[in-house]
């Protein structure tokens, strides 16, 4: 909310300047985001001299002027009668927003280019004079800022009013708050006294059909008004607060809204059918053309103000165009009401329409302030637009305000704040915010003022006490409490350890958005995959972030693109994050922690010590093997062929725990790469960490170190190319011969000495006895048996 300091000062005798006041308000709970000059919008306007004036070739009343700010010349089309060569005046360049609300841009005016406008005193917010340009005396130097030359300065506080403090959404409300938090005195406001009586009831009536939505509805009738422009001072005040002047009647309603926080609406009384008001729910099929020129369909969830036949306003939000006050209006019905805040908010959201009124109604206006607003506005309208106020006023008040009583125990205050304030001090602080306090037996019996909807519980009063006393004056302590800390959960440890291991393996951690583009389904060919079933956001920021991810791969691919396109072609990255799988019949999805990674480009950074080489599948597998080893994963198998539509079957593996697939790893298919504008090979992997967690061996048992030396024997086999080396290795490792401790695959060879279509595998066997050194003959004998077992199992020859 924009608060002109000088308006505020009319109601509270502040000793603080605008900056000091801003600081004080901020420290007591109303954050002031800044203090600025209301004329700041006009800062680009400078003093220029009219160098030449020529007639406009296509318009009789316009002139084409060359003006100079002392540095350069501008061409401006101008229609002011007093423009003449040598005149010093004000020039607004494109981008300036004038007092009138007009935003200047470079324009063609009837075929002639105009690089800005020359301004009248009115357009600069100086005085009401509209015809003719502002003129400066000769001493004023060219190029100076006009706001400086004229001393245009009006300090305005930008206050961020929190949603609980609807009472501060007005000048008077802020004056009250300022008085409470400084040592200043508030000037009391009382409305003018206007004629009372019964006459109004002969002319009109108000019926509230929905007392649960409209607690109070008041109105006055003003007859014979002259609608025209408001006085300049009123216009200026509205402008300081960011509102645009419209006409004297509407401006008064806005002025009172700003001053007292009471929203008002003026109807053209003669256009109200039946000359009466009904507050009711809209009926299905009803529509209204609102003041912003939009026709809006209504429904029963929306409260309207209706005349005898149709809605004439959306209650509390915006009036209708058809009954609006215009230049022709003679008689006015002025509305001042109190609507149910949540009803206004619901309607406002339903219609996607909000206004200064709805903003205040949602946050709660003062039910006891309805009449103040009405009376002030009626008298101002009469003052500015003439006419007669019809004696009497409507005041339907089906749910009168009942003051709340809050029992505050001083003990609770000291429990909360750890400070023992005497009761007198508590009462004193609460009185600053107009809370009435009486002493009970033990408690203080407190009655907050009608405009403080936020004060309902003792804790709310404790907050008032704390902030008025000063948060910084309250004591500081270190909690004394029994120790409740627990060790981290195993899964959290696993996540932490997984991150450590992967970075040690050279991978960088990335974090991608949890929402992705739904196009990932077709990108990865997942049309028939359960992962194509995603949760969609109802209101995404863009199509790129419209569904919740069911796999981390699309995010990693996006990261790869960002890097590869921006000079980082070598990538080793991983992400740990949740994926979201919709569950049948459950409102919330299943959220699982996944780990995924991506490797592409060169295996090592460029170095004088190593020949460059591209990453290959064995790098991927090596990373995963080391990861599993370091994490203590047991029983994870790499089965050829991942079965993932986006991976090359020949260059991918499924990661399995027994029969259950818990992940995959492999190279992306070429068509996927092509769609991404990337070139391969690119390797990815993904693992369900919650499943992997079950494979982590947490219990480790010590194995005694060998006391006797081992003996090694190598076995070179020639086998058909199709025979997977892993099968031979796995078979050899499964063999149960005494003293056979370990088997390693130490070489795979093709070429000289090995026939085409075959390959040579060299296995190294480690033999060791626990209790003695094995003799050579014993080992030879064993190794002979091992060799025979392998030769009888596989189609293999000795090399």
Taking a C-beta distance cutoff of 8 angstroms, is the pair 612, 620 a contact?
A: no
Q: Minimum CB separation from another protein for residue 477, in Å?
A: 4
- Joined together, the tokens standing for residue 350 give 């339903």
Q: Give the dihedral of Cα atoms 625, 631, 635, 641; nearest 10 deg.
A: -40
Toward another protein, which CB reaches closer, 341 or 369? 341
User: What is the tally of helices (H) and strands (E) in the chain?
Assistant: 21, 38
Q: Could you tell me how far CA 599 lies from the centroid of its own chain?
A: 34
Cα–Cα distance between 124 and 462 in angstroms, integer?
48
| Cβ-based nearer residue to another protein, 127 or 492 | 492
- Strands 206-208 and 277-281 come out as parallel
Report how far residue 581's alpha carbon sits from residue 535's, in angstroms, rounded to the nearest whole number: 7
Reference 100, options 249, 244, 247; nearest CA is 244
| In the complex, least distance from residue 391 CB atom to another protein, rounded to whole angstroms | 38
What is the spatial distance between Cα 715 and Cα 786, in angstroms, rounded to a whole number? 10
Contact criterion met (CB below 8 Å) for 446 and 461: yes
Is residue 42 a contact partner of residue 125, using CB atoms and an 8 Å limit? yes
Q: Which is nearer to another protein, 386 or 569 (CB)?
A: 569
360 three-state secondary structure: helix
Contact 89, 150 (CB under 8 A): no
Query: What is the nearest approach in angstroms of another protein to the Cβ of residue 634?
Result: 25
In the complex, the smallest distance separating the C-beta of residue 592 from another protein, rounded to whole angstroms, is 11
Q: Which is nearer to another protein, 26 or 450 (CB)?
A: 26
Q: Measured from the CB atom, is 167 or 375 closer to another protein?
A: 167
Q: How far is CA 620 from CA 169, 302, 562, 616, 667, in A?
A: 62, 61, 21, 7, 9
Beta carbon of residue 610, minimum distance to another protein (angstroms, whole number): 7
Name the β-bridge partners of 303.
Answer: 281
Distance CA 170, CA 1 (A): 8
DSSP designation for 292: T
What is the nearest approach in angstroms of another protein to the Cβ of residue 579? 11
Min separation Cβ 380 and another protein, Å: 29
Q: Of the candidates 578, 594, 748, which has an alpha carbon nearest to the alpha carbon of residue 663? A: 594
| 167 annotated ligand binder | no
Q: Closer CB to another protein, residue 557 or residue 657? A: 557
- Nearest distance from C-beta of residue 407 to another protein, angstroms: 13
Kindly tell me which of 107 and 415 has the beta carbon lying closer to another protein: 415
- Asked if residue 681 has a cis previous peptide bond (ω within 30° of 0), the answer is yes
> Is 463 one of the annotated binding-site residues?
yes
Q: Is 454 annotated as a binding residue?
A: yes
Distance, CA of 426 to CA of 691 (rounded, Å): 59
Give the Cα separation of 150 and 546 in Å (integer): 53
Nearer CB in complex with another protein: 294/568: 568
Our CB check for another protein shows the closer of 622 and 720 to be 622
Least distance to another protein, CB of residue 435, Å? 15
Binding residues for Mg(2+): 454, 460, 463-464
Annotated binding-site residues read 454, 460, 463-464
């Amino acid at each position: 909310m924009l608060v002109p300091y000088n308006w505020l000062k009319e109601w509270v005798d502040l000793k603080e300047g605008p900056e000091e006041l801003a600081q004080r308000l901020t420290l007591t709970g109303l954050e002031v985001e800044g203090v600025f000059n209301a004329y700041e919008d006009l800062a680009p306007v400078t003093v220029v001299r009219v160098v030449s004036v020529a007639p406009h070739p296509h318009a009789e009343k316009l002139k084409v002027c060359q003006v100079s700010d002392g540095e350069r010349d501008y061409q401006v089309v101008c229609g002011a009668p007093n423009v003449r060569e040598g005149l010093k005046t004000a020039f607004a360049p494109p981008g300036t927003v004038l007092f009138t609300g007009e935003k200047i841009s470079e324009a063609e005016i009837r075929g002639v280019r105009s690089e800005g406008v020359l301004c009248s005193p009115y357009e600069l917010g100086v005085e009401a004079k509209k015809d003719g340009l502002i003129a400066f005396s000769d001493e004023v130097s060219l190029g100076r800022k006009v706001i400086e030359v004229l001393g245009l300065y009006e300090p305005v506080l930008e206050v961020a009013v929190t949603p609980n403090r609807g009472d501060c959404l007005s000048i008077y409300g802020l004056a009250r708050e300022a008085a409470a938090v400084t040592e200043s005195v508030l000037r009391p406001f009382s409305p003018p006294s206007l004629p009372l009586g019964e006459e109004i009831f002969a002319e009109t009536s108000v019926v509230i059909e929905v007392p649960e939505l409209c607690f109070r509805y008041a109105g006055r009738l003003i007859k014979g008004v002259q609608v025209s422009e408001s006085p300049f001072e009123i216009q200026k005040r509205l402008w300081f607060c960011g509102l645009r002047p419209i006409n004297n009647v509407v401006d008064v309603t806005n002025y009172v809204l700003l001053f007292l926080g009471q929203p008002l609406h003026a109807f053209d009384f003669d256009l109200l059918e039946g000359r009466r008001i009904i507050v009711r729910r809209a009926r299905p099929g009803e529509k209204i053309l609102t003041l912003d020129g939009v026709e809006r369909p209504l429904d029963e969830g929306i409260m309207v103000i209706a005349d005898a036949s149709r809605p004439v306003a959306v209650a509390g939000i915006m009036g209708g165009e058809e009954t609006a006050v215009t230049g022709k209006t003679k008689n006015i019905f002025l509305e001042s009401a109190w609507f149910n805040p949540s009803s206004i908010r619901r309607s406002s959201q339903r219609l996607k329409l909000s206004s200064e009124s709805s903003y205040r109604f949602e946050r709660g206006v003062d039910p006891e302030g309805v009449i103040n607003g009405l009376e002030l506005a009626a008298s101002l309208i009469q003052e500015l637009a003439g006419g007669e106020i019809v004696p009497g006023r409507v005041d339907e008040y089906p749910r009168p305000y009942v003051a709340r009583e809050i029992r505050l125990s001083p003990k609770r205050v000291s429990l909360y704040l750890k400070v023992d304030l005497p009761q007198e001090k508590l009462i004193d602080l609460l009185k600053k915010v107009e809370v009435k306090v009486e002493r009970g037996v033990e408690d203080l019996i407190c009655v907050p003022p009608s405009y403080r909807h936020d004060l309902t519980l003792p804790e709310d009063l404790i907050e008032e006490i704390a902030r008025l006393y000063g948060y910084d004056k309250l004591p500081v302590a270190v909690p004394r409490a029994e120790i409740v800390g627990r060790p981290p959960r195993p899964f959290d440890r696993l996540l932490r350890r997984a991150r450590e291991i992967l970075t040690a393996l050279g991978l960088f951690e990335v974090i991608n958005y949890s929402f992705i583009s739904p196009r990932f389904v077709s990108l990865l060919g997942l049309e028939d995959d359960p992962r194509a079933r995603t949760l969609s956001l109802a209101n995404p920021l863009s199509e790129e972030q419209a569904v919740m991810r069911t796999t981390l791969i699309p995010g990693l691919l996006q990261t790869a693109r960002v890097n590869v396109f921006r000079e980082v072609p070598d990538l080793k990255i991983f992400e740990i994050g949740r994926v979201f799988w919709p569950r049948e019949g459950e409102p919330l999805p299943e959220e699982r922690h996944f780990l995924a990674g991506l490797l592409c480009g060169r295996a090592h950074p460029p170095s004088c010590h190593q020949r460059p080489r591209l990453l290959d599948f064995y790098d991927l597998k090596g990373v995963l093997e080391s990861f599993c080893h370091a994490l203590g994963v047991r029983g994870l198998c790499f089965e050829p062929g991942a079965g993932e539509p986006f991976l090359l079957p020949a260059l991918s593996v499924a990661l399995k725990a027994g029969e259950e697939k818990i992940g995959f790893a492999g190279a992306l298919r070429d068509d996927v790469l092509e769609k991404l504008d990337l070139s391969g090979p690119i390797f990815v992997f993904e693992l369900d960490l919650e499943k992997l967690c079950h494979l982590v061996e947490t219990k480790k048992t010590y194995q005694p170190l060998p006391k006797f030396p081992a003996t090694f024997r190598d076995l070179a086999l020639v086998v058909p190319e199709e025979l997977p080396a892993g099968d031979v290795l796995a078979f050899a490792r499964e063999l149960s011969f005494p003293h056979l401790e370990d088997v390693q695959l130490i070489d795979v060879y093709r070429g000289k000495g090995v026939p085409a279509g075959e390959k040579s595998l060299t296995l190294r066997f480690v033999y060791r006895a626990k209790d003695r050194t094995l003799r050579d003959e014993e080992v030879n004998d064993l190794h002979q048996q091992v060799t025979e077992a392998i030769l009888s199992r596989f189609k293999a020859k000795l090399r």
